[in-house]
Structure formats: structure tokens, C-alpha cells
Amino acid sequence: MRRSEILMLALVLISFLIGLYFYPQMPAQMASHWGANGEVNGYMSSFWGVFFLPFMLVGLALLFALLPRIDPLKHNIEQFRGAFDVFILFFFLFMLVIYLQTLLWNIGIRISFNATMPVGIGLLFFFTGILLEKAKRNWFIGIRTPWTLSSEVVWDKTHKIGGKLFKVAGLISLVGILFQPYAVYFILIPTLFVTFYTISYSYFAFRQLKKP
């Protein structure tokens, strides 16, 4: 096993240990979802409220470990495997922090998600940008459109600009902490823009490449 996979499994184990510690303290119905205004708008039973995320992390750990091994272009993944490993570990840490915040909320220690999500998402976007800039063509990781998958040149161009845009989106998301009632918009609008722009860019870059 790679060192990153061992650390990933360690974080999964930590999530279960945290869950076991907090489970006896949880109410029968736990707050589990918050709206854009930071108010609770969803509940779960205490068992699923505590253990849904640890079980989800098990599935994600298996998926992240499997994908680089089954990709037909796995030799390309090895060229940016270091960036991929760093991204995965940060993603798991991010999920663990959100999980812990949820549990603390349910025992009365209430930290607004509008204060923490802009920071967590902003950093996650920034790490995504680093990953995209280094990513080589493959079937599972990156901006996978028919046009990037059909051309190495289009893949490289799209990921170069996509990486920069995700870094900018990350910085915009961080600004959301200064405007907490509207924090979701500092996350959502840049995400939609980057998604639409990179898909469109890959199409037009492919069209330009195919011009005689």
C-alpha cells in the first residue's frame, strides 16, 4: 500500500473512533443539514447521523485506491500521483472537520457553517487547481469531456486554464467568510462559472485543433 492510502485509512478509522465517542451524547434526531442561511433544515436518526459519514469515507477510500489501478491510462496517473495523493488527503481532512463540526453542533457547541465552509471549500478548490494543472489524460481524474479525452493537446490546454480558474475560485470562496449570510454564493457562482467555462473551452479548443 502507498503511504497516502495508509493515511487515508487512518483517517477513516479516526472518523469511526470520533463517532463512537460522540454517539452516546447525541439526541435521537440529529441536525444533519444546514441551509444557505446557516439554519438547520434537515435531520437524521442518531445512528445514521453519526455513522453515515464514516461509512461513506470507507467507500471513498476504496474508490480512490481502486481508480488509479484500473484506469486504462494508469501510467499517466503515475505522472501526477503525488498531487492526487495530496488532494485526497486534504479532501478526507476536510470531510473529517465538517463531520466533527456537525457532532459538536448537536451537543451544543455551535460554530456556523457559513464561517467554516468558505475556508474549507476555498482550500479544496485551490488544491483542485494544483491537481488539474499537473493532471495527465486519464478516464477518471480531471476535466473529462469528449474533447479532452479525444486529444492530449486539448486535455493539457483545458487543464492548464482550469487549474488557474479553480485557484481563483478558491480565493473567491475564501472571501465569503467576510460576508457570511451570502457565503454560499461565493462558492456556488465561481463553481458554476468554472464548470461552464472549462467545458466550453475544451469544445472550442478541439474545434480549433481540427480546423484545416
Which residue has 502507498 as its cell numbers?
Answer: 2
Beta-bridge partners for 45: 29
- pLDDT for 211 equals 75
**Average pLDDT value over all residues in the chain:** 95
User: Structural domain boundaries of the chain?
Assistant: 1-106, 112-212
> 1 pLDDT exceeds 80?
no
CA–CA dist 40, 164 (Å, integer): 34
Q: Is the pTM of this model over 0.85?
A: yes
Q: Would you state the pLDDT for residue 60?
A: 96
Q: Does 193 have pLDDT greater than 90?
A: yes
pLDDT at 189: 96
* H or E stretch covering 181: none
Say if residue 47's pLDDT is above 80. Answer: yes
| Phi and psi angles of residue 144, each rounded to the nearest 5 degrees, phi first | -100, 95
Query: Among 30-39, 91-100, 173-182, 193-202, where is mean pLDDT lowest?
Result: 30-39
pLDDT tens digits, residue range 15-39?
A: 999 999 999 999 999 999 998 888 8
Query: What angle separates helix 81-106 from helix 113-134, to the nearest 10 degrees?
Result: 170
Q: What is the pLDDT of residue 2?
A: 87
Tell me, what's the pLDDT at 5? 93
Q: Which string of DSSP letters, residue by residue, matches 4-51? A: HHHHHHHHHHHHHHHHHHHGGGS-SEEEEEE-TTS-EEEEEEHHHHHH
* Residue range 121-150: mean pLDDT, rounded: 96
- Contact criterion met (CB below 8 Å) for 143 and 198: yes
Dihedral in degrees, nearest 10, Cα atoms 192, 196, 197, 198:
110
What is residue 35's predicted lDDT score, i.e. its pLDDT? 85
Span 132-147, mean pLDDT? 97
Residue 149's pLDDT band (cuts 50, 70, 90): very high
Q: What's the confidence (pLDDT) of residue 153?
A: 96
**Per-residue cell: 55:** 461509512
